[in-house]
Structure 1
Amino acid sequence: MNTATLLAVTALLLTPGVQAEPDQLIIAGRLLDVRSGKLLPDQAILLEQDRVHSIVALGKLSTEQQALPRTDLSAYTVLPGLIDMHVHLTANPSAHGYRRLQQTPARQALFGVTAAAATLHAGFTTVRNLGAAGFADVALRDAITAGEITGPRMRVSGPGLCMTGGHCDNNLLPHTYQASGDGVANGADAIRAKVRSNMKYGADVIKFTATGGVLSRNTDVNASQYSLAEMQALVAEAHDRGASVAAHAHGLRGIKRALEAGVDSIEHASFIDDDAIKLAKSRGTYLVMDVYVSDYILQDGEAAGILPESLAKERTVGQLQRQNFSKAVKAGVKMAYGTDAGVYTHGLNGRQLNYMVQWGMTPLQAIQSATLHAAELLNWRNEQGQLNVGVLEPGAYADMVAIAGNPLEQITLLEQIPLVIKGGKAVKAP
């Protein structure tokens, strides 16, 4: 055997889920294949450590496989662990507006411990954290990865990038304090440097604000932030470094600029129009539209410290965003699931699924947005180039949830998930 062949065989044997023997068995009464949309009865999910080894019909198990330690979920429907592509785990939803000035990055990271556990117990085994001061989300991710605390798998952005006075800047204090957000950068060269800095300190993804925001003081949701040239410099730098780019964008001009610049996802997309929908579809850009959170802001936001001007902005945004969500669904744009958790109470992430169905998706489309399609946008892959999350397939992490019923008939079942498995281990059980 020559050296090249030996190396190839060694790599194959060391690849999770390939060639090695399974060490655990999960019996699923019904298994939802999120690619085909089919509910497969009586399936056996064979695990190798923290990954899926193989999936076979229950009647085809070998004698040796039948003897493996097993988890009996024959009374349940099993599907991949859910993914939320827009969360803020270090953000306390009861500390909006001026209250947030009291929160240091260290305090936010500590708050994130309980938020991460609540999110995982809600069935969201993977999240993309888009924006955190002081790289608090990096610290949270690393503690979860090290097994020191309980939480979902995380991809994180660190501080969001923005122009001076933009949505991610600190606009709450008067000029005498000279306060500035961690991600403020102006001009193409400074923006490139900030992208490099974020990745130096642990960011997996780059998030920037292409328009004003609802919850920031003195920013207009319709006003574009960053020129096209600045956005292009940001996207090129991030893509050169292997990072994807998420653009916060409510207003139409900022949405179109971000699409032209080549971002991977548009977050919120509230005022998107037919032309921008066509552009997003032609470029394969994902829309991540948080169509649940508006109700929470308008019902509970004042008590949580959300500023009056922010409540007024939300009244102009929420309903129109949902109408445009319906248009985007009908047009067949790629959609990934993102809720803006941290604006609302962590652990309620599953509530948005029903909103997506109410505004035009089928239950399967909503589930796919939070599994397969979110995973494709996240692009987190194993050594064989296969998706690590969002699917139950050989080589993927053994992340799954189980419910007593059919989510294709009753999507609200996913709002209260009784059993959550991450990496082959139950982290929540009845």
Structure 2
Amino acid sequence: MTRTCALPFALAAALLAPPALAADAAPAATALHCGKLFDARSGQLLDARTVVVRDGKIAEVLPGRAEVAGATAIDLGGHTCTPGWTDLHVHLGSQSSPQSYSEGFRLDPTDFAFRSVGYARKTLLAGFTSVRDLGGEVSPHLRDAINQGLVDGPRIWAAGKSIATTGGHADPTNGYNDALSHLIGPPGPTDGVINSIDDARQAVRQRYKDGSDVIKITATGGVLSYAKSGDAPQFTVEEVKAIVDTAKDYGYRVAAHAHGEEGMKRAVLGGVTSIEHGTYMSPEVMSLMKQKGTWYVPTIYAGRFVADKAKIDGYFPEMVRPKAARIGAQIQDTAGRAYRGGVKIAFGTDMGVGPHGDNAREFLYMVEAGIPAATALQAATIRAAEVLGVDDQGVIEAGKRADIVAVPGDPIADINAVMKVDFVMKDGKVYAQPGRAL
């Protein structure tokens, strides 16, 4: 989706903004009476706290159930309050289905824009107040519509078009027949496809021109692209370095989709901020990531989802199906090994592969992999903020953004509580609360 699609997207956003779920206007002050509070810095669960919110920020955190003069009180007794969650790997412009491969030929960018509005709303109401959208031309426009208050959704760091090599995981012409290929011509850096260091620099600069917030590269083959290999390396180290160095000029960080070992090594050596998926991560790669300070975003949800759908005849094209069965099933085990190996882990789902709004299920899968519940919650709060390079969110402390979610019960004792979010606040505005239909 190009800048020329901004007008249809704005129209779609305005038409679809759901009045019944628009955020309440923020009062002068709000006092949240939390039964428990998750301290993301220490990973500890604290007893009752009152969180005072003013002007979209956390003004103070008081012990117990404190009375705050002039504040609107919200009773979250019996609930655990946590910082708003961040999903570092989503695709809000799409959602997997058996029709996904044909829809790219049948639907217009405006169709995907309309869909993205509903996906964004579901994501926010699931407790995710921030996301990093790693690939999709609709996301910069959706980000702007949310920031302008046209629609409800999480705060978005948008990659826009992912950067690939010819035939790589994000080559938009994979699977096209000869007639279409000759009509369109070979994609280049403007389309996010590179084959040299100069191309790499141009592709990053184009993302800047397009209004991206972060750079995404596909360092290896992928599962869902219409191409044979799911793990072969697809960039040289020099190309990755050119992308990373140019990205730094614009204040961008670089996320690298990578399944295969060699592609991961090249991406880490090239200086990327994070490895996404990491299926065939070896001890050597783990050691290199620890040495370089590279983050790992496992996306266990996506692996589980595609492995399950690969069992269904016709859900994926036959070119894709064996990759989904082979690669998807391994990601959860890799995440457990990476945690035990001391690799820095942050939260991401690759949502859009699975249904939007189900993002919190990743917490359950992380715990199944052997990651403690408190560590999983930190991965979606303070650790995610570190990956994004921001220090104004991810913790419930005075001066930080008033992004707060609450769940009934104790998610440290029972991680399933994360699936029952019934309070969502973003920038001090309440989008859902107990007793109010979502």
Contact 1:93 1:304 in 2 (8 A): no
Q: Distance in 1 between matches of 2:239 and 2:103?
A: 32
Q: Does 1:87 align with 2:90?
A: yes
Q: Does 1:345 align with 2:358?
A: no
Q: Does 1:53 align with 2:59?
A: yes
Contact 2:82 2:405 in 1 (8 A): yes
Is 301-310 or 66-75 further displaced after alignment? 301-310
Q: Tell me which of 175, 180, 193 is aligned to 1:172.
A: 175
Residue 125 of structure 1: aligned partner: 129
- Per-residue Cα deviation, 1:12-46 (whole angstroms, up to 9, x for no partner): xxxxxxxxxx7222111111101112222221111
| CA displacement at 1:323 relative to structure 2 | 2.0
Residue 44 of structure 2: aligned partner: 38
Residue 137 of structure 1: aligned partner: 139
Q: Distance in 1 between matches of 2:115 and 2:251?
A: 30
Unaligned runs of 5+ in 1: 1-21, 381-386
Contact 1:96 1:305 in 2 (8 A): no
Contact 1:167 1:219 in 2 (8 A): no
Q: Tell me which of 396, 402, 410 is aligned to 2:400.
A: 396
> What one-letter code is carried by the residue in structure 1 that aligns with 2:142?
L
> What one-letter code is carried by the residue in structure 1 that aligns with 2:384?
A
> What one-letter code is carried by the residue in structure 2 that aligns with 1:68?
A
Pick closer, same or farther for the CA change 1:187–1:100 going to 2, 3 Å: same
Q: Distance in 2 between matches of 1:105 and 1:304?
A: 25
Q: Does 1:70 align with 2:76?
A: no
Q: Tell me which of 203, 220, 223 is aligned to 2:229.
A: 220
| CA displacement at 1:177 relative to structure 2 | 1.3
| CA displacement at 1:167 relative to structure 2 | 0.5
Matches within 5 A, 1:367-386: 367-380=377-390
- Per-residue Cα deviation, 1:135-179 (whole angstroms, up to 9, x for no partner): 311000000000000000000000000111110012121132124
Q: Distance in 2 between matches of 1:30 and 1:173?
A: 54
Residue 117 of structure 2: aligned partner: 113
Contact 1:99 1:305 in 2 (8 A): no
Residue 7 of structure 2: aligned partner: none
| CA displacement at 1:305 relative to structure 2 | 4.4
Residue 423 of structure 1: aligned partner: 427
Residue 199 of structure 1: aligned partner: 208
Contact 2:349 2:359 in 1 (8 A): yes
Q: Distance in 2 between matches of 1:287 and 1:422?
A: 26
Q: How does the TM-score come out when normalised to structure 2?
A: 0.87
Contact 1:92 1:108 in 2 (8 A): no
Residue 27 of structure 1: aligned partner: 33
Q: Secondary structure at the match of 1:143?
A: helix
Contact 1:128 1:154 in 2 (8 A): yes
Q: Distance in 1 between matches of 2:351 and 2:289?
A: 24
Q: Secondary structure at the match of 1:325?
A: helix
> What one-letter code is carried by the residue in structure 2 that aligns with 1:151?
G
Q: Secondary structure at the match of 1:309?
A: coil
Q: Distance in 2 between matches of 1:167 and 1:99?
A: 18
Pick closer, same or farther for the CA change 1:367–1:303 going to 2, 3 Å: farther
Q: Does 1:210 align with 2:219?
A: yes
Q: Does 1:355 align with 2:353?
A: no
Q: Secondary structure at the match of 1:292?
A: helix
Task: Give identity over the alignment, percent.
Answer: 37
Residue 12 of structure 2: aligned partner: none
| CA displacement at 1:210 relative to structure 2 | 0.6
Q: Distance in 2 between matches of 1:239 and 1:219?
A: 33
Q: Distance in 1 between matches of 2:247 and 2:33?
A: 42
| CA displacement at 1:57 relative to structure 2 | 0.9
Residue 411 of structure 2: aligned partner: 407
Q: Secondary structure at the match of 2:131?
A: strand
Q: Secondary structure at the match of 1:72?
A: strand
Residue 195 of structure 2: aligned partner: 186
| CA displacement at 1:200 relative to structure 2 | 1.5
Q: Distance in 2 between matches of 1:148 and 1:193?
A: 33
Q: Distance in 1 between matches of 2:249 and 2:299?
A: 29
Pick closer, same or farther for the CA change 1:303–1:344 going to 2, 3 Å: farther
> What one-letter code is carried by the residue in structure 2 that aligns with 1:25?
A
Matched residues, number? 399
Pick closer, same or farther for the CA change 1:395–1:148 going to 2, 3 Å: same
Residue 329 of structure 1: aligned partner: 339
Contact 2:220 2:257 in 1 (8 A): yes
Q: Distance in 2 between matches of 1:404 and 1:322?
A: 27
> What one-letter code is carried by the residue in structure 2 that aligns with 1:43?
R
Q: How does the TM-score come out when normalised to structure 1?
A: 0.89
